[in-house]
Amino acid sequence: MDLKPEQALFLLHSMLPTVEREHQTTVRVLEAVPADQADYKPDPNSMSALELSWHIASAEDRFLASVAAGAFDFTPIEKRTTMADIVTYYKETFAKNLAALKAMTGEQAAKIVDFRGMMQLPAVSFVTFNNNHILHHRGQLSVYLRPMGGKVPAIYGESYDSKAAKAAQG
**Residue 28: predicted pLDDT:** 97
> What is the Cα–Cα distance from 124 to 134, expressed in whole angstroms?
16
Total residues found in the chain within this entry: 170
* Average pLDDT, integer, range 38-50: 97
Residue 1 has pLDDT above 80, yes or no: no
Fold classification of 5-168 (topology level): Four Helix Bundle (Hemerythrin (Met), subunit A) (1.20.120)
**How many CB atoms within 10 Å of residue 8?**
23
Q: What are phi and psi of 77, to 5 degrees?
A: -100, 135
pLDDT interval class at 2 (50, 70, 90): confident
* Average pLDDT, integer, range 108-129: 96
> What is the Cα–Cα distance from 8 to 109, expressed in whole angstroms?
5
